[in-house]
Amino acid sequence: MPEPVPEAKPEGQDIPPADGDAPPADGDSDDGGDEPQSTQLTGLFVEKPQSNVVAVAGSDVTIIAKVDSSNLTRKPTMKWLKGKWLDLCSKAGKHFQFKETYDRNTKIYTYEMKIVKAVPGDAGGYRCEVTAKDKCDSSTFEVSVEAAHQEEQADILSAFKRADAGEDDGELDFSALLKATKKKKKPEKEKPETDVWELLKSAHPSEYEKIAFKYGITDLRGMLKRLKKMKEQPVKHSEAFLKRLESCYTVDKGKKIVLSCEVLDPNAQVKWLKNGQEIKPSAKYVMEANGNVRTLTINKANLSDDAAYECVVGEDKCSTEVYVKEPPITITKLMDDYHVVVGERVEFEIEVSEEGAHVVWCFEDQELHKDKESSKYRFKKDGKKHTFIILEATLDDIGMYHAWTNGGHTKGELEVEEKELEVLQDIADLTVRATEQAMFKCEVSDDTVTGKWYKDGVEVLPSERIKMTHVGRFHRLLIDDVKPEDAGDYTFVPDGYALSLSAKLNFLEIKIDYVPRQDPPKIHLDTTGNMVSQNTIIVVAGNKLRLDVEITGEPAPTVVWSKGEKPITETEGRVRVESRKDLSCFVIEGAERDDEGNYSICVTNPAGEDKAMLLVKIVDVPDPPENVKCTGVGEDCATIVWEPPKFDGGVPIKGYLMERKKKGSSRWTRLNFDVYESTTYEAKRMIEGVLYEMRVFAVNSIGMSQPSLNSKPFMPIAPTSEPTRLTVHDVTDSTCSLKWLAPEKIGAGGLDGYIIEYCKEGGTEWVQANTDLCERQGFVVRDLPVGEKINFRVVAVNIAGRSPPATLGQPVTIREIVEHPKIRLPRELRTRYIRTVGEKINLTIPFQGKPRPVATWYKDGKPIDPKMVNVHNSHVESILFIRSAERDHSGTYELVLQIENMEDRATINIRIIEKPGPPQKVRVTDVWGFNAALEWEPPKDDGNCEITGYTIQKADMKTKEWFTVYDHNRRTNCTVSDLVMGNEYSFRIYSENLCGLSEEPGLSKNTAVISKTALEHKRNPYKEKDMTCAPKFTQPLVDRTVVAGYSMAISCAVKGFPKPKIVWMKNKMIIGEDPKYLMQNNQGVLTLNIRKPSTFDGGKYSCMAVNELGKDEVECKLAVRVPTEPDKQ
């Protein structure tokens, strides 16, 4: 399981355990396992796992370890291991689960390893290792699994049937081996059961797969492991193997692994088996035999190679198991957040680094599986893309969803909002006359919503005259041939929503006045419906305005509609006037903002005139907000501001809705469900270090505006914590040197530098000491007043701003502290310092003292010559430098350190040496027997160093080759022995000191002659060996068949002394000086070359060797064939 991000704990939380739900450990043990069961604060662990953990088969067990990170510079890394090598993190999944939490108050990491449904195979030794940079600590513990009590025989065959697909898919879980599954007894007759394991024990490995298929066992590896454990017979001593295969091997996926063993017989033939099946040599499986060593190389290992392997020699065999570890799978595309309404489809999508990777999906802390009974969840794999689908989201699905791989983790939040139906167009009141058509129309936001129509509370049923339609989001009620009884209140009620839309149908009766008289015109305005006052009509942009005005008067008046001073005469188009008897209709189709204004209707007839003024006001959704930007960020929050829209739609702005998304994603998440009235919003629950974008919607009573332009990407980051361990390093009369350590928490914003500020004691005005950010963890504040008490503080700065300040516990008095001068002479300079001529000398002498001391160098009591020696002094050290040392630089150097009337001295003895000169007056003083005595005098120039010895060499005057007789001879005389009689010798001597041998030797002025004495040499009588022998052929002639036209040669070998005479014959006839034949004799190897033989050259060829002691003869047959057509080709 990858490492999760440490979760922040609430303030005031108690000291560990950090996870309140985790059971506390009962004890603690070190590596030895002999310490009492108590928590010891040793190393990095503050709480170790219990030394002995007992689990019951089939139940869960949790092991806890805690690490203190207060003294660590970086986050610790925890590894859980089984045995010596098996890393359990690569096995994270259903069986092994890992969890990590962090307590910010106590700075303690809590690590948990949970074994789900423990099985006997989990028993054994475990180890947890924690590392942090150069620190490491480990703890071992044992896990034992006790079997649960069983009343009935478990079906062990079902234990090997994988829950997932194929044989090599899924994880191996043998917990069912010891789980008792209760079966209902059937009243049928019991049939004798076949013991599969007895069949497998007696069967050949090649039959395993057949038996497993017959009895429904799909987990072949698990079957082989159990079969191996069931075989209790003692292991027979191997007579065919010198060295068997290792018990198991491990290899990373895609890598190469070599299985090697040694057999007793180097010529033995071996067979390699995989899960009982013989392996054939191929590019993937390479089998090699080198002497007694037999190897099987598996190239580019994959999961199918995770199996049991055997090497078979005759009837004997050795086996092993290969475990293939998958590399960590990382997540390349992170999960997005979702905001949906109830019933919508949700698709969480990620991408991983490799195809076919195993991804675990979790909701909060619960793992999600595909439920066959319910079709709510779907899991989809498409190459590297993995998708988790919720078909219909509910309020129970609200929460955090996680995706885990063995090398990565990502999470996304799902917010589900109850479905709200939005009315896009309300029902308008209608006024119609008899026999006309009335149409009520409304528009809702969901095109799948159905509903019912009611008149005065009674459901309206369709008929030939009354029709109801539902097309998309529009619902219509059509009433043909309107009658007086159709007048009333009509209501549309959507199914499943507490919502109703109402309108009124007014029936306009036609009254006929038969009184022949003239009436002045009269305008009868209906003040109901869209009128908000007697002269104002409000229309939603995009809707239709139809204003029916009843007009009376005799004779029929003339009607004129005007907008401002411009009359409206169009009878067709978007804005038109329709005239009927006693009725004038003013229609605007799809109202626009430009249609807003003052309208007037004027009616005239001979009896008079009437006029009415109307104000048509067009209202619309507002424009999008402007200038959305982020003005401040925090660790998991950001402050967003914007400007109200330029046009509010004609009605006041009720508020705003905000959405955010991760940069690069297309999924927007709603941040507020109720309208937000202010233009400043603080977005929370964000992930630090991730780029986000924001957009804002404006809302008025009409609806919601289009989204604003996306804000510039911003990243939630927090300032660092305060710098740590602020201390005063040095104080002078005008400066103060400060040092500190980096903040414990830096975060995703990084660290740009530090600001150093100071303030006089009792003051409140802080002065910044540095103009630019200080990147180092130290700074010297200058130009401070002498004797003042100054407070200092240091602030860390990053892109998120300033951190809390780190301050000193008390003010600092600015005054130089007098410190006695002290020279810290290095240990290697306390003895004589020796260097050779030409070497570079660089001596660094540290010292201390306040105020800054004055350093002066002397050589042999006199000030040094700056032309010969370079000196560089600082406030903490003095450096003496000689580029190329000469012998004149030798002497006694003294460093004097002075502060006013105080001083300290240090003496350094430097000696510059070189190779010595040759010895003087080398001579041979005496010769006797095989010995010669030499004497000489020391060299004039000893190289400024003591002579450590001499090297003496001798040379024979005949050969002039020099040989070393003595090395490191310390005296000025020696005796050379073991000289050869009759020879004359010369000698040379090299002097030696610490630099080595002298360049030139000292040669002896005279030589040593070793004279011969009267010695008689008795030689053994020499008997000459008889080398004569009769001729004998050691290599005979060989019969040959050649092709005509191609030159050839026949050869044989003979020995004999005296050298025999050679005679070549063909068919017993001596071959003379025929140019066709060439006869050769090379050290007894005889060759007869025949140039381009023909068919006449075939026959018997013989070679005879003759000398005075005898003769010998060999012969062969030569056949010459004529080439055929294919030969010619």
Q: What is the pTM of this model?
A: 0.35
Identify whether residues 735 and 836 lie together within a single domain.
Answer: no
**Region 997-1015: what's the mean pLDDT?**
85
How many Å apart are CA 1014 and CA 1016, to the nearest integer?
Answer: 7
Residue where a domain terminates, one of 296, 325, 354: 325
* Residue closest to 475 by CA, chosen among 512, 504, 501: 501
Looking at the predicted structure, is the pLDDT value of residue 150 above 80? no
CA 388-391-396 angle, 5° bins:
90
* Residue closest to 757 by CA, chosen among 745, 771, 742: 771
On whether residue 619 sits in a domain, the answer given is no
On whether residue 543 sits in a domain, the answer given is no
Would you state the pLDDT for residue 517?
60
Least confident of 532-546, 697-711, 1016-1030, 1098-1112: 532-546
Residue 539 CB contacts under 8 Å (≥ 6 apart), including other chains: 530, 545, 588, 591, 595, 616, 617, 618, 619
For the chain, what is the domain count?
A: 8
How many Å apart are CA 902 and CA 820, to the nearest integer?
Answer: 7
On whether residue 1078 sits in a domain, the answer given is yes
Range of the domain at 806: 724-813
Would you state the pLDDT for residue 1066?
92
Q: Is 173 helix (H, G, I), strand (E, B) or coil?
A: coil
Q: Is the preceding omega at residue 516 within 30 degrees of 0, hence cis?
A: no
Looking at the predicted structure, is the pLDDT value of residue 241 above 50? yes
CA atoms within 13 A on the CB side of 713: 10
Q: What is the 3-state secondary structure (H, E, C) of 678-717?
A: CCEEEECCCCCCCCEEEEEEEEECCCECCCCCCCCCECCC
Query: How is residue 972 written in tokens?
Result: 């000025």
Query: Is-contact 1064 1115, C-beta < 8 A?
Result: no
Question: Tokens 């400007």 map to which residue?
Answer: 643
Dihedral-angle region of residue 198 (phi above 0 means left; psi in -120 to 50 means alpha; beta otherwise):
alpha
Residue where a domain terminates, one of 358, 387, 417: 417
**Region 790-797: what's the mean pLDDT?**
93
For residue 14, count CB atoms less than 10 angstroms from its CB and return exposed for 0-12, middle for 13-18, buried for 19 or more: exposed
On whether residue 975 sits in a domain, the answer given is yes
Q: Is 851 helix (H, G, I), strand (E, B) or coil?
A: coil
Distances (CA, A) of 402 to 349, 368, 693, 1028, 1047: 11, 10, 23, 102, 87
Question: What is the per-residue pLDDT across 623-679, written as a single tens digit (0 to 9) for each?
Answer: 999 999 998 888 888 899 999 998 888 888 999 999 999 988 888 998 888 889 999
Query: How is residue 789 written in tokens?
Result: 């008490």
On whether residue 37 sits in a domain, the answer given is yes
On whether residue 72 sits in a domain, the answer given is yes
Least confident of 222-231, 819-828, 923-932: 222-231
DSSP 8-state class, residue 177: G
Helix (H) / strand (E) element for 225: namely helix 220-230
Q: Phi first, then psi: give them for residue 513, nearest 5 degrees.
A: -100, 115
How many Å apart are CA 303 and CA 166, to the nearest integer?
Answer: 12
On whether residue 170 sits in a domain, the answer given is no
CA atoms within 13 A on the CB side of 386: 25
Q: Within 10 A of 271 (CB to CB), how many other CB atoms are there?
A: 13
State the average pLDDT for the chain: 82
Identify whether residues 804 and 844 lie together within a single domain.
Answer: no
* Residue closest to 745 by CA, chosen among 3, 102, 43: 102
Looking at the predicted structure, is the pLDDT value of residue 570 above 80? yes
Identify whether residues 278 and 393 lie together within a single domain.
Answer: no
Identify whether residues 7 and 129 lie together within a single domain.
Answer: yes
Please indicate whether residue 672 or residue 231 has the higher confidence score (pLDDT): 672
Looking at the predicted structure, is the pLDDT value of residue 729 above 90? no
Please indicate whether residue 355 or residue 192 has the higher confidence score (pLDDT): 355
Q: Phi first, then psi: give them for residue 305, nearest 5 degrees.
A: -85, -5
* Residue closest to 394 by CA, chosen among 408, 415, 425: 415
Identify whether residues 865 and 783 lie together within a single domain.
Answer: no
Q: Is 938 helix (H, G, I), strand (E, B) or coil?
A: coil
DSSP 8-state class, residue 313: E
Identify whether residues 1053 and 1039 lie together within a single domain.
Answer: yes
Percent of the chain whose predicted confidence (pLDDT) is above 90: 29
Looking at the predicted structure, is the pLDDT value of residue 941 above 50? yes
Residue 345 CB contacts under 8 Å (≥ 6 apart), including other chains: 389, 390, 391, 392, 393
Looking at the predicted structure, is the pLDDT value of residue 355 above 60? yes
Query: Is-contact 756 792, C-beta < 8 A?
Result: yes
- Give the start-end residues of each E strand in 564-625: 566-568, 575-580, 583-588, 597-605, 608-619
Q: Considering only the C-alpha atoms of the chain, give the largest distance between any 2 of them, rounded to a whole number of Å.
A: 191
**Region 411-424: what's the mean pLDDT?**
82
Query: Is-contact 740 688, C-beta < 8 A?
Result: no
For strand 736-741 and strand 680-683, is the pairing parallel, antiparallel, or unpaired? unpaired
Would you state the pLDDT for residue 214?
66
Q: Within 10 A of 870 (CB to CB), how many other CB atoms are there?
A: 14
* Residue closest to 1029 by CA, chosen among 1056, 1010, 1061: 1056
How many Å apart are CA 340 and CA 1032, to the nearest integer?
Answer: 110
Identify whether residues 398 and 372 lie together within a single domain.
Answer: yes
Looking at the predicted structure, is the pLDDT value of residue 74 above 90? no
CA atoms within 13 A on the CB side of 857: 23
Query: Is-contact 33 126, C-beta < 8 A?
Result: no
Bridge partner list, 346: 390
Would you state the pLDDT for residue 629?
92
Please indicate whether residue 228 or residue 16 has the higher confidence score (pLDDT): 228
On whether residue 351 sits in a domain, the answer given is yes
Residue where a domain terminates, one of 106, 126, 151: 151
Identify whether residues 955 and 1040 lie together within a single domain.
Answer: no
Identify whether residues 134 and 18 lie together within a single domain.
Answer: yes
What is the pLDDT confidence band of residue 1120, given thresholds at 50, 70 and 90?
Answer: very high
What is the pLDDT confidence band of residue 1093, given thresholds at 50, 70 and 90?
Answer: very high
How many Å apart are CA 174 and CA 423, to the nearest integer?
Answer: 59
Identify whether residues 363 and 396 lie together within a single domain.
Answer: yes
Identify whether residues 296 and 349 lie together within a single domain.
Answer: no
Q: Is the preceding omega at residue 557 within 30 degrees of 0, hence cis?
A: no
CATH classification of the domain holding 1061: 2.60.40.10
* Residue closest to 687 by CA, chosen among 665, 672, 655, 656: 665
Q: Say which amino acid occupies 352.
A: V
How many Å apart are CA 17 and CA 239, to the nearest integer?
Answer: 58
Identify whether residues 309 and 341 lie together within a single domain.
Answer: no
Would you state the pLDDT for residue 1064?
92
Question: What is the per-residue pLDDT across 738-781, written as a single tens digit (0 to 9) for each?
Answer: 999 999 988 877 888 999 999 998 888 999 999 899 999 999 99
Q: Say which amino acid occupies 537.
A: I
Least confident of 43-52, 59-68, 219-228: 219-228
